[in-house]
Structure 1
Amino acid sequence: MRTGLYPGTFDPVTLGHMDIIQRAATLVDELVIGVAINGDKGPLFSLDERVAMIEAECGPLQERFGMTIRVHPFENLLIDCARDVGAQLIIRGLRAVADFEYEFQMVGMNRVLDDSVETVFLMADTEHQAVASKLVKEIARLGGNVSRFVPTAVERALREKVAG
């Protein structure tokens, strides 16, 4: 059985994330969505809220693809998280060349730490290349329309969160 790990903070989960999740689901038998706890980033949504949003969005995909998708919060090294969940693959989404530079360094370090775990890059669909959670949160804070960037339920949660 091939297990893939798709890590991120998912604050909030975007349509770009969902695109990568759907495409990653075709590559593995089990997909683990690793939700980074990382308090240093100052997430808008709590860990429980982020996990719940991802579980709600991924539920229908499990049936559609006939495989398992599970959510796993983590705050250790990514490579240790991969070992914890039994992942042979780490799946990373790329939006632009700038993403590649950072990811290239991370792959090198992860290979030194454990060369049995491969990293696979999936390019974001052109429709989602500009979508970043940070920008989505800023648009929502300033009263803009985020419906083209996030799932409907996430849009509602964002509006409620920024309204206070």
Structure 2
Amino acid sequence: MVRAVFPGTFDPIHNGHIDIARRAMRLFDELIIAVYDEPSKSLLLSPPERLKLVHQTFADDDRVRVTLFSGLIVNFCREVEAQVIVRGLRVFSDFELEFRMALANHRLAPEIDVIALITSEENSFLSG
């Protein structure tokens, strides 16, 4: 079984996030949507509010688990025995940042792969 983690702040969850998650669900046996609960940026919604919205969005799919996480994503992946981190890319600048993060994560946890899905055109204007 291949388990993937889709991490983010999801403040709030939007169609771009949902699109990436649904497409990832076609690729993996289980998807854990990991809502980051200690971001350094100011957010609109509290961690419990964000968790609730994401949970409601995917309540009908038993292959999706929604949880809060903090700390390094590779440590969380090891905790939940996930083999893959899913990221969404909207524009080229997203790729540059995600590429650097993927290299750093690979140094810390070479057993965990990163897969990037290109956002659908209709969602490319949404901010992450």
| TM score, norm. by length of structure 1 | 0.76
* Counterpart residue identity of residue 101, structure 1: E
Aligned to 1:41: 41
- Identical columns (%): 37
Listed one character per residue, the Cα deviations across residues 54-103 of structure 1 (whole Å, up to 9, x for unaligned) are 0100112x1xxxx5101121111011111111110000000000000000
Mapped partners of 1:30, 1:56: distance in 2: 17
2:105 is equivalent to residue 103 of structure 1: no
Of 73, 80, 85, 1:90 maps to 85
Mapped partners of 2:38, 2:80: distance in 1: 18
Aligned to 1:162: none
Structure 1: gaps (5+ residues)? 134-164
Of 125, 132, 136, 2:127 maps to 132
- Could you say which structure has the higher strand fraction? 2
1:38 deviates by 2.4
Mapped partners of 2:77, 2:123: distance in 1: 26
- Give the SS at the match of 2:125: coil
Structure 2: gaps (5+ residues)? none
Aligned to 1:74: 69
* 1:1-164 pair list within 5 angstroms: 1-60=1-60, 62=61, 67-133=62-128
- Give the SS at the match of 1:115: coil
8 Å CA contact 2:87–2:115 kept in 1: the answer is yes
Change (3 A) 1:76 1:19: same
State the structure with more CA Rg: 1
- Could you say which structure has the higher helix fraction? 1
